[in-house]
Amino acid sequence: MGNQKDQSTNIWIESLQTIGLSVVLALGIRQFVAEARYIPTGSMEPTLQVNDRLVIEKISYHLTVPERGDIVVFWPPEEFNVPGQPRNAFIKRVIGLPGDTVEVADGQVLVNNVALEEGYIKSPPNYQWGPKTVPPESYLVFGDNRNNSEDSHRWSDPFLPEDQIIGKAVVRFWPPNRLGLLKRQ
């Protein structure tokens, strides 16, 4: 009789250990490896649509640096944090790398005086900006919907510090008809 009670107790202990380990692994993966994110605004249209769901990987930027064209998730400048509200991450495309001089003029983005070929944008920018040189360990990021994006061209300090980057958007998993890898453009 006592043996049956010990087995019952062991099943509960094993179940709790399994659940506990699962929770720890899930939180560890989300914190250090990858996480799911959704797109709340149209700032990255047409590449990303409102309510798209993405996987953001967090490992590669510990081994390499972001490249022009990468779509990154990051913590925005303090001016966008609303006191008493949860901190929301932004998602934009890397345009300027450390040392680059970037300017927006006549509907084009110029990096080191060379116009970027940007087949991914919604429409050409309708503003003038720069030229500004990206400092070390910082990036310049723009939304693909250039005229409707809270990005580097609107920030009081336009440069995204490298340590504010959470990770790189690598795959869209929702909606199913748009499932696929997000490629650097």
Q: Which residues are catalytic?
A: 43, 92
Nearest 5°: phi and psi at 26? -60, -45
Which residue bears the tokens 């996480």?
35
CA distances, 67 to each of 34, 61, 97, 106, 178 (Å): 19, 10, 7, 25, 24
Q: How far apart are CA 185 and CA 167, in angstroms?
A: 17
CB-side exposure of 59: number of CA atoms within 13 Å? 6
> Which structure tokens are listed for 115?
């116009």
Sign of the dihedral defined by the CA atoms of residues 79, 80, 81, 83, in that order = positive
With CA atoms as reference, report the closest residue to 34 among 47, 25, 43: 25
